[in-house]
Amino acid sequence: MKNWIPLLLLLLALSSCKTRNAIKNNDGNAQDSITTAENNKSPKDVNEPVSDKLTFFEHVLIPPKFEQIKIDSKVRVETGSFIPTLDATVYIENDKKVWMNLRAVFLNVARGIATPEGIKGQDKVNKVYIDSDFDYLNNLLNVNFIDYKSLEKILMGRTFVKISDSQFTLTQNAQGYKMASKVNQKIVTDEKNREYKIVLQYDTNYDLLSVNLKDVLSPDELEISYSDWNEYEGIRLPKNVKIIIKGSKSSQILMENTKFDFSRMETAYSVPSSYKKIEIK
């Protein structure tokens, strides 16, 4: 358990409407073979430039307004070893903290909290705890840019990487919108300088469907996908979140969000004096 509880704590400190365009030939004449071949392409494969970029960026970059949200989830982690499905409660207080509690067969097995200062977590079974900055989270996800705000956005299905019109190409097809980096995105931190190829997919109504980040200088890759979006008290949220980690460390984390609640709750967190601090590398 010592090997997988920290991964789950990290995760919880972190979850189409199709359109079709018919091309009409006004004079009713048969088009030449080149045009016909283009028209026979599947709509999902035809990427067209987006003219109204301002509306797109407004929808995907302006965050929803909320004070707090509680998410009940079923969590599965796939690492090659057996890990039971856990019940999770995640409580997000906007810009302040992400608190989480994990249960197995009605027993509390782990608890954690993330703030802008860092991450804390405790394994109640092995009686150990962690107290770390966000390097811990970045190491587990094989990236180098996650901070507290990125964590909130990942959990709520919002764009958590920096995108801009000058650095990305925006196109649209029948499935929705695609943002692809024109050049490798350099992210410089105190510990690491890395370059990523980044692709983001959005539904036709601007819900985030997936984010793929590929390190161009290593086999490390992170993909996070979202599905089954619905609106709760004016905020659209995903029911399913899948995190796929590839490269020097490989695993999958699957979250099924079963309930959303916007009422305030108590988020107790303290570490018993008998617990031993561990360092995760």
* CA pair distance 205, 250, nearest whole angstrom: 32
What's residue 136's pLDDT? Answer: 80
Q: Which burial class, exposed, middle or buried, applies to 267 when counting CB atoms under 10 A from its CB (0-12, 13-18, 19+)?
A: middle
* Residue whose C-alpha is closest to residue 112's, from 256, 241, 12: 12
Q: What phi, psi does 6 have (nearest 5°)? A: -60, -35
What's residue 22's pLDDT? Answer: 35
**CATH number for the 5-15+47-275 domain, one of 3.40.50.360, 3.40.50.300, 3.40.309.10, 2.50.20.10?**
2.50.20.10
What's residue 91's pLDDT? Answer: 98
* CA pair distance 28, 23, nearest whole angstrom: 11
What's residue 281's pLDDT? Answer: 60
- Mean pLDDT, consecutive 10-residue segments, the chain of 281 residues? 48 38 40 44 66 93 94 90 88 96 89 95 92 85 89 95 94 94 86 88 97 93 97 96 88 95 95 89 60
What's residue 8's pLDDT? Answer: 56
* Residue whose C-alpha is closest to residue 279's, from 136, 97, 70, 66: 136
The answer to whether residues 118 and 129 touch, using CB atoms and an 8 Å cutoff, is no
Q: What is the pTM of this model?
A: 0.82
What's residue 46's pLDDT? Answer: 66
What's residue 191's pLDDT? Answer: 63
